[in-house]
Amino acid sequence: MSRFWSATTRALQPYVPGEQPKLPNLVKLNTNENPYGPSPKVCEAITREIGDSLRLYPDPNGERLKSAIAACFGDIEPRNVFVGNGSDEVLAHVFLGLLKHEQPILFPDISYSFYPVYCGLYDIEFVTVPLDAAFAIQVDDYRRPNGGIIFPNPNAPTGRLLPLGEIARLLDANPDSVVVIDEAYIDFGGESAVTLVQRYPNLLVVQTLSKSRSLAGLRVGFAVGHPDLIDALERIKNSFNSYPLDRLALAGAAAAIEDREWFERTRQAVIRSRTTLVVELQAMGFEVLPSAANFVFARHPQHDAEKSALALRQKGIIVRHFKAARIDQFLRITVGTDEQCEKLVAALKEITAA
């Protein structure tokens, strides 16, 4: 605290990202990064971009990237697409540009912990809606006056998927609210709601290249929706930073979207490893929530989650534990390579045998 801080700064409760320790040989399963690298075509595209052109500003509108994203989905035009510096930045603009209204917005009690942070930053009222006893979203619980609705699908940190039909039902019940579906993990087991965008002008779908395209370090995210929603985001963006994506990010991201084959191969590998990991965890007595993401959310009836996370850390493996109501007995474990998963399973066998 300093006397130079504004009242806004003093009132903030910033988000705390998962740690990025620099230890050698660490098995890092705490922040849902992709264990496989990005497409080699990403590195080629970035390398090509390094040179004299860096003296020039990048395309403020990211037109080429928007076209690549639109082509990837089909049925979508570049004017349905907004791009930003990671989906966290896209989400920040969404909160200010589309979710700040008279009524409080709604999101699940267990959800992405950045949402309440944006509400604090932009002074947006919110009400949390409890997940059911099985940690699933019940869309009928969102039939109430609201200034907007947002949640991840699959949800984080539970990994549970809400089927597309339920999202359509939620949209039908809330025609006067913006409904934002944060699809950071959709490529690991769900069907994207982008296919509903032409039918629902109040639907905004947010995705990131950080997880399924293995580009957390490049910082690229995007939103797909009706041009009126996209215009709102452009207005906020152009009142904040005209060039959120640099030349390297724009070039690398377009190459990643265009390399369908690498994308398919690596996401299928993650899905296969997840299936094996779930079986192994269940064999040890863990209860594992059904996951459609690149992580699993698991608890052991006899072993305290925080202690297990610490014991794993002593063995050079880090996972995420949240000291939050309802979920403090769960571990959130990123699906790594098969080798990393085997190390995790061996370590947990020792811990749960003790």
Ligand X SMILES: *Cc1c(COP(=O)(O)O)cnc(C)c1O
> Which stretches of the chain bind ligand X, using CB under 6 A?
86-88, 112, 152, 156, 182, 184, 208, 210, 216, 221
Question: 208 - beta bridge partners?
Answer: 221
Token pair for residue 275?
A: 């299936």
The residues facing 205 across adjacent strands are: 181, 224
C-beta of 253 vs 311, nearer to ligand X: 253
Residues counted in the chain: 354
Beta bridge partners, 287, equal 299
Please, what is the minimum distance in Å from the beta carbon of residue 140 to ligand X? 23
Q: What are phi and psi of 334, to 5 degrees?
A: -70, 140
Smallest distance from ligand X to CB 353, Å: 32
Closest separation between CB of residue 293 and ligand X, Å? 8
CB of 14 to ligand X, least distance (A): 15
DSSP structural state of residue 57: P
CB of 294 to ligand X, least distance (A): 10
Q: Identify which of residues 76 and 90 has a Cβ nearer to ligand X in the complex.
A: 90
Rounded CA separation 323/288 (Å): 18
CA–CA–CA angle 293, 154, 69 (5° rounding):
85
CB 238 within 8 A of CB 106: no
Q: CA-to-CA distance for 348 and 20, rounded, in angstroms?
A: 22
Pick the closer one to ligand X by CB: 35 or 348.
35
Provide the minimum distance between the beta carbon of 304 and ligand X in the complex, in angstroms, as a whole number.
Answer: 25
Helix (H, G, I), strand (E, B) or coil at 30: coil
Nearer of residues 83 and 305 to ligand X, judged by Cβ: 83
Q: Contact, 212 vs 34, CB < 8 A?
A: yes
Q: In the complex with ligand X, which residue's Cβ is closer, 34 or 208? A: 208
CA distance 96 to 331: 32
Query: Per the structure block, which two tokens stand in for 162?
Result: 């809400």
Q: Which is nearer to ligand X, 153 or 340 (CB)?
A: 153
Please, what is the minimum distance in Å from the beta carbon of residue 87 to ligand X? 3
CB 28, CB 37: distance < 8 Å: no
Q: How far is the CB of 18 from ligand X (least distance, A)?
A: 9
What letter would DSSP give residue 114?
Answer: T
Shorter beta-carbon distance to ligand X: residue 98 or 351: 98
Nearest to 177, CA basis, from 150, 157, 213 = 150
Residue type, 302: Q
Question: Encoding tokens for residue 205?
Answer: 């779908």
**Residues 294 and 256 sit within 8 Å (Cβ to Cβ):** no
C-beta of 301: minimal distance to ligand X in Å?
27
Residues 313 and 331: beta-carbon distance below 8 Å? no
User: Positive or negative, the Cα torsion across 304, 294, 23, 347?
Assistant: positive
Nearer to ligand X, 88 or 259 (CB): 88
Query: Is the CB of 38 or the CB of 86 nearer to ligand X?
Result: 86
